[in-house]
């Protein structure tokens, strides 16, 4: 699991905050993992942006994960791809990208996690934690208890794939999320909505740097 970072930044297409600047800011703030997400863009637009940010990320030693578009990830030689529930099958993505690349998938239920964990993938994004306007076709919101139950049940059934909480996560949520046993978090608005993007990123990275404290009962978690 060492190659999976605990903090994932997901880009968002904003008129007043270009993705190139987002990448620069989060890398300055200590984020070593950027998922390029451009849902409404064409393949050519996505490819052009990926080619533009890739050398910037490499200067910081950060990873580039391309959301959904396996072919762009292949052309750019990105570090990997993140596949949504309605996107390419993970086995097909592995065949295209090869054994050395990172493949992440999205899950909303324990059944999703158990099914996906059977494939040759590297992490699973579990969410959404809460409502988020950055994602269309939002799956049912899980909340803290929902994520805790999925993580606990998955671990009890022998799932060792890193689970990343995703969906509307803010810095104030991270302490409680860590107590669910989640491996890491994916953030977007928590950084790009902050007045000081670099400082916001640094704060989240610092929160994730401490050890997890896994709670084993719903009762203990509900007292928080």
Q: Is 67 annotated as a binding residue?
A: yes
Residue 108 lies in a domain: yes
What's the confidence (pLDDT) of residue 222? 42
Q: How many domains does the chain have?
A: 1
Q: Is 133 annotated as a binding residue?
A: yes
What's the confidence (pLDDT) of residue 224? 43
Question: For residue 152, what is the domain's CATH number?
Answer: 3.20.20.70
Residue 2 lies in a domain: no
Q: Is 39 annotated as a binding residue?
A: yes
What's the confidence (pLDDT) of residue 219? 36
Range of the domain at 123: 7-222
Residue 199 lies in a domain: yes
Q: Is 35 annotated as a binding residue?
A: yes
Residue 19 lies in a domain: yes
What's the confidence (pLDDT) of residue 73? 98
Residue 191 lies in a domain: yes
Q: Is 38 annotated as a binding residue?
A: yes
What's the confidence (pLDDT) of residue 214? 41
Q: Is 11 annotated as a binding residue?
A: no
What's the confidence (pLDDT) of residue 167? 95
Q: What does pLDDT average to in each consecutive run of 10 residues of the chain (224 residues)?
A: 88 96 98 96 97 97 97 98 91 96 97 97 97 67 96 97 97 96 97 97 94 43 43
Q: Is 168 annotated as a binding residue?
A: yes
What's the confidence (pLDDT) of residue 131? 73
Residue 22 lies in a domain: yes
What's the confidence (pLDDT) of residue 20? 98
Q: Is 7 annotated as a binding residue?
A: no
Q: Is 132 annotated as a binding residue?
A: yes
What's the confidence (pLDDT) of residue 216? 38
3-state secondary structure the chain: CCCCCCEEEECCCECCECHHHHHHHHHHCCCCEEEECCCCCCHHHHHHHHHHHHHHHHHHCCEEEEECCHHHHHHHCCCEEEECCCCCCHHHHHHHHCCCCEEEEEECCHHHHHHHCCCCCCEEEECCCCCCCCCCCCCCCCHHHHHHHHHHHHHHCCCCCCEEECCCCCHHHHHHHHCCCCCEEEECHHHHCCCCHHHHHHHHHHHHHCCCCCCCCHHHHHCC
């Amino acid at each position: 699991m060492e190659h999976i970072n605990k903090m994932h930044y997901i880009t968002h297409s904003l008129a007043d905050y270009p993705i190139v600047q987002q990448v620069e800011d989060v890398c300055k703030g200590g984020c070593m993992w950027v998922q390029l997400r451009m849902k409404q863009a064409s393949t050519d637009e996505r490819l052009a942006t990926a080619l533009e940010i890739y050398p910037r990320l490499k200067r910081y030693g950060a990873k580039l994960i391309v959301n959904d578009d396996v072919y762009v990830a292949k052309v750019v030689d990105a570090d990997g791809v993140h596949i949504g529930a309605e996107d390419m099958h993970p086995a097909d993505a592995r065949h295209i990208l090869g054994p050395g690349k990172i493949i992440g998938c999205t899950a909303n239920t324990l059944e999703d996690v158990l099914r996906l964990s059977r494939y040759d993938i590297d992490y699973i994004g579990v969410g959404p934690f809460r409502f988020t306007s950055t994602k269309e076709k939002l799956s049912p919101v899980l909340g803290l208890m929902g994520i805790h139950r999925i993580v606990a049940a998955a671990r009890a059934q022998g799932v060792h794939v890193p689970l990343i909480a995703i969906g509307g996560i803010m810095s104030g949520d991270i302490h409680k999320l860590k107590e669910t046993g989640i491996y890491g978090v994916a953030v977007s608005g928590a950084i790009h909505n902050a007045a000081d993007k670099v400082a916001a990123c640094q704060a989240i990275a610092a929160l994730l740097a401490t050890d997890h404290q896994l709670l084993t009962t719903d009762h203990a978690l509900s007292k928080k």
